[in-house]
C-alpha cells in the first residue's frame, strides 16, 4: 500500500469505522484523479512570499449597465491593482438563496447575474484565486435538499437530523435562531440541524457519500484554475449531540484528509480554514503542519480596533508577543476588515467585559450595529460588530475627530507589517462608508459593510484627487508597492515584539536570509510620540532609512519623532 493510501485509510478509519477504508480511499483517489504511488508533495513548503497580497471581494461589488459584475471586478483588479496584489478571494459566486452566497443552491454553477466559469477562469489566469468551499451547510432550496425530502439520491442521508427532545444545550452557536428546523419528508416529519439559519441546512459528514460529493467539487474547482480553498465555517462541520459540536477531533481529521487529497492533485494548492473562534482554538487548525496551510488571524481586527480607539496598544502588544511563529509550510492570513463583522469571540479572555462594552458603545455611536449569539446557558453575547472600517476609524472613545484618514492608514500599515499573508477588503481599499440603506432594506446587519458600487461612479471618484476614496487607494498602493519588495516582510520572516510603551506598537522583522531588518513602529495616538533610537538597538554600521518617508537616521543615539498615527518602516536596506 502506498504512503498516500495508508494515510488516507488511517483518516477514514477514524471518521468511518464501519466502512471499508481501503475501498473508500481508492474511490476518493479516483474522484480526485490521483494515481497512488506518485511523488509525495514536499512537506513544510511555503507556497507564498513577501509579494503575496490578497483582495477580498464579492463578485458583484462593482456594478454597471454594460458589463457583467465579474468583468467589472477583473477590470478593477487589472487596471488599479495589477502591481499591488497577487491574489483575489471572490466570495461565494454560486447560485444562492440567502446570506449573500453562503446558502449555496448549486456548487457547480456560477450565479448567472455575475457571469460564468469563463470569467472565473480569466481571473484565475491573472491572479491566485481563492474560492469558498461552503462545507458545513447548503441551501434548503438546493437539489440535494429537495431529494432528501423525497428520499432520493443524491441527497438522501446528506443532512444532519436532530432530536428536539435531546439535550442540545452544550452546542456552541454563532446565531440566535433555532438550531433545529422542522421539515416534512416522504418518511414523515424530521428536524434538520441549522447552525446558521433555517435556509442553511447542515450537511452530515458522518455519511461518506457527503465526503465523496465534496471531493468531486474540489476537483472541479481545481480544474477551473482555483488554487486556494477557504473552508467556510469548518469548525462546525462534525456534530455529536451532547457535545459542543465545534472543533471536534473528527473535524480536524477531515481537514487533514481534504488537504492530503488536494495537495496530491496540485502540490501548490492552499487550504485556509475560516474559524471565528477563540484564539487558541483557532491556532489548533495548523495541526502538526498537516491541516490548514493558513488560518485567519481573527483576533487581529478587534485588538487593533481597540488599540486605536483607546490609544493604548497593551492588549495588542501582549497578543503579538504570545502569537507563536508559524512553522514553514503554514502562515497566518491577516486581515482587519472583511465581508463579515469584526468578531468578538477571538478576544474572549483578552479584553474584559468593560473594555468590550466600551468598544461596542463607540462603534454604535459611529453608526455600527451589533450581532448576537446564544450561549449554552441561554443568555446572549455580542458575536460581532458590523461596521465599515472607514467609519470605525472616524474617532476614538472620546468621540469623532479629524484624524480619520491617518488612523485608517495606520491600521492598515500595521497589518501589512506583521507576520503572515495580508488580505485587504475591497471596501477598505475604496474607503467605502456604512451602507445604512442596504441594512434598512434587508434587515441584515452585515449589509452595512457590503456596499455595491456603481462602477462608473466609483471610477470618477477614484480620478478625483480630492476624494477620500482616491486618497486611500493611492496611499494603500504606495504601501503595497514598498512592502512587496521587502524580504523582511516574508510571511514567515522572524518577528519580535518591541517594548516601547502603550502609545506605540512596534515589532522587528528579519528576513529568512537575515540580511534585512525592519523595525515597524506605529503611533496609536493623536499626540506626537518621541522614541530614543537607542531603544531599538540598531546595528551601528548599517544605514537606516524609513521606507515610507525616505528619511534617513544616521545618529543612532538620537530620537525618532512620530507624528499622530504615523508609521515608520525603519530598514537597513532600501530594497529587501
Count the Cβ atoms, other than its own, within 10 Å of residue 123.
22
> How does pLDDT run along the chain (576 residues), one tens digit per residue?
799 999 999 999 999 999 999 999 999 999 999 999 888 999 999 999 999 999 999 999 999 999 999 999 999 999 999 999 999 999 999 999 999 999 999 999 999 999 999 999 999 999 999 999 999 999 999 999 999 999 999 999 999 999 999 999 999 988 889 999 999 999 999 999 999 999 999 999 999 999 999 999 999 999 999 999 999 999 999 999 999 999 999 999 999 999 999 999 999 999 999 998 888 899 999 999 999 999 999 999 999 999 999 999 999 999 999 999 999 999 999 999 999 999 999 999 999 999 999 999 999 999 999 998 887 777 888 999 999 999 999 999 999 999 999 999 999 999 999 999 999 999 999 999 999 999 999 999 999 999 999 999 999 999 999 999 999 999 999 999 999 999 999 999 999 999 999 999 999 999 999 999 999 999 999 999 999 998 898 877 778 999 999 999 988 888 999 999 999 999 998 777
Domain segments of the chain as ranges = 494-571
Active-site entry in 128, 199, 202, 232: 232
**Element of type H or E holding 8:** helix 3-15
**Cβ pair 479, 488 in contact under 8 A:** no
pLDDT of residue 380: 86
Strand order in the sheet with 342-343: 342-343, 380-386, 369-374
CATH 3.40.50.2030 fits 494-571, yes or no: no
Strands 331-334 and 421-425: parallel
- Of the candidates 221, 251, 216, 291, the residue with the CA atom closest to the CA atom of residue 27: 216
What's the CA dihedral at 493, 494, 499, 501 to 10 degrees?
Answer: 10
Candidates 541, 547, 492, 554; CA nearest to 518 is: 547
Residue 540, pLDDT score: 73
**Cβ(86)–Cβ(51) below 8 Å:** yes
Q: Report the distance separating Cα 473 and Cα 230, nearest Å.
A: 26
Q: What is the DSSP string of 402-467?
A: S-HHHHHHHHHHHHHHSSSEEEEEHHHHTT----HHHHHHH--GGGGG---EEHHHHHHHHH-TTS
Cβ neighbours of 293 (radius 10 Å): 28
Burial class of 143 by CB neighbour count within 10 A (0 to 12, 13 to 18, 19+): middle
Give yes or no for a contact between 316 and 278, defined as CB atoms under 8 angstroms apart: no
- Let me know if 537 is exposed, middle or buried by CB neighbors in 10 A (0-12, 13-18, 19+): exposed
Residue 480, Cβ density class (10 Å: 0-12 exposed, 13-18 middle, ≥19 buried): buried
CA distance 576 to 155: 54
Strand partners, 62: 453
Task: Indicate the pTM of the whole model.
Answer: 0.97
**128 annotated active-site:** no
Amino acid at each position: 500500500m502506498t504512503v498516500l493510501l495508508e494515510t488516507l485509510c488511517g483518516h477514514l478509519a477514524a471518521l468511518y469505522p464501519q466502512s471499508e477504508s481501503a475501498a473508500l480511499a481508492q474511490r476518493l483517489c479516483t474522484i480526485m484523479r490521483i494515481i497512488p504511488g506518485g511523488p509525495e508533495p514536499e512537506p513544510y513548503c511555503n507556497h507564498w512570499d513577501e509579494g503575496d497580497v490578497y483582495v477580498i471581494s464579492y463578485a458583484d461589488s462593482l456594478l454597471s449597465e454594460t458589463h457583467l459584475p465579474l468583468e467589472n471586478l477583473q477590470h478593477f483588479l487589472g487596471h488599479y491593482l495589477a502591481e499591488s496584489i497577487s491574489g483575489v478571494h471572490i466570495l461565494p459566486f454560486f447560485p444562492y438563496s440567502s446570506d449573500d452566497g453562503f446558502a449555496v443552491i448549486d456548487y457547480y454553477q456560477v450565479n448567472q447575474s455575475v457571469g460564468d466559469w469563463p470569467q472565473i477562469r480569466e481571473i484565475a489566469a491573472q491572479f491566485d484565486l481563492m474560492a469558498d468551499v461552503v462545507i458545513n451547510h447548503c441551501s434548503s432550496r438546493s437539489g440535494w435538499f429537495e431529494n432528501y425530502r423525497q428520499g432520493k439520491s443524491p441527497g438522501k442521508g446528506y443532512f444532519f437530523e436532530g432530536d428536539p427532545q435531546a439535550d442540545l444545550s452544550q452546542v456552541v452557536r454563532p446565531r440566535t435562531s433555532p438550531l433545529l428546523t422542522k421539515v416534512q419528508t416522504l418518511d414523515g416529519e424530521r428536524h434538520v440541524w441549522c447552525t446558521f439559519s433555517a435556509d442553511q441546512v447542515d450537511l452530515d459528514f458522518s455519511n461518506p457519500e457527503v465526503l465523496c460529493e465534496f471531493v468531486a467539487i474540489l476537483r472541479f474547482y481545481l480544474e477551473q484554475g482555483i488554487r486556494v480553498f477557504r473552508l467556510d465555517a469548518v469548525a462546525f462541520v462534525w456534530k455529536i449531540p451532547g457535545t459542543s459540536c465545534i472543533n471536534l477531533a473528527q473535524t480536524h481529521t477531515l481537514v487533514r484528509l481534504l488537504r492530503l487529497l488536494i495537495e496530491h492533485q496540485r502540490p501548490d494548492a492552499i487550504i485556509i480554514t475560516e474559524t471565528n473562534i477563540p484564539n487558541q482554538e483557532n491556532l489548533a487548525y495548523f495541526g502538526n503542519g498537516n491541516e490548514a496551510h493558513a488560518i485567519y488571524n481573527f483576533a487581529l481586527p478587534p485588538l487593533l480596533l481597540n488599540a486605536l480607539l483607546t490609544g493604548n496598544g497593551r492588549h495588542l502588544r501582549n497578543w503579538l508577543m504570545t502569537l507563536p511563529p508559524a512553522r514553514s509550510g503554514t502562515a497566518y492570513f491577516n486581515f482587519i476588515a472583511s465581508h463579515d463583522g469584526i468578531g468578538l469571540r477571538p478576544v474572549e479572555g483578552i479584553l474584559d467585559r468593560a473594555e468590550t462594552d466600551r468598544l461596542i458603545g463607540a462603534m454604535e455611536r459611529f453608526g455600527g450595529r451589533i450581532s448576537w449569539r446564544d450561549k449554552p446557558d441561554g443568555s446572549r453575547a455580542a458575536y460581532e460588530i458590523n461596521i465599515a472600517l472607514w467609519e470605525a476609524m472616524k474617532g476614538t472613545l472620546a468621540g469623532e475627530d479629524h484624524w480619520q484618514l491617518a488612523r485608517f492608514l495606520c491600521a492598515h500599515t500595521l497589518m501589512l507589517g506583521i507576520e503572515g499573508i495580508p488580505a485587504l477588503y475591497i471596501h477598505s481599499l475604496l474607503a467605502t462608508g456604512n451602507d445604512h440603506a442596504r441594512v434598512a432594506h434587508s434587515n441584515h446587519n452585515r449589509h452595512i459593510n457590503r456596499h455595491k458600487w456603481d462602477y462608473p461612479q466609483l471610477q470618477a471618484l477614484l480620478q478625483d484627487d480630492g476624494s477620500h476614496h482616491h486618497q486611500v487607494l493611492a496611499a494603500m498602493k504606495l504601501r503595497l508597492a514598498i512592502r512587496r519588495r521587502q524580504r523582511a516582510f516574508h510571511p514567515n520572516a522572524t518577528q519580535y515584539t518591541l517594548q516601547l510603551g502603550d502609545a506605540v506598537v512596534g515589532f522587528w522583522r528579519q528576513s529568512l536570509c537575515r540580511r534585512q531588518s525592519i523595525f515597524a513602529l506605529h503611533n496609536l495616538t493623536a499626540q506626537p510620540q518621541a522614541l530614543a533610537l537607542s531603544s531599538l538597538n540598531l546595528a551601528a554600521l548599517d544605514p537606516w532609512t524609513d521606507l515610507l518617508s525616505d528619511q534617513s537616521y544616521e545618529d543612532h543615539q538620537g530620537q525618532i519623532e512620530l507624528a499622530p498615527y504615523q508609521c515608520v518602516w525603519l530598514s537597513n536596506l532600501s530594497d529587501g
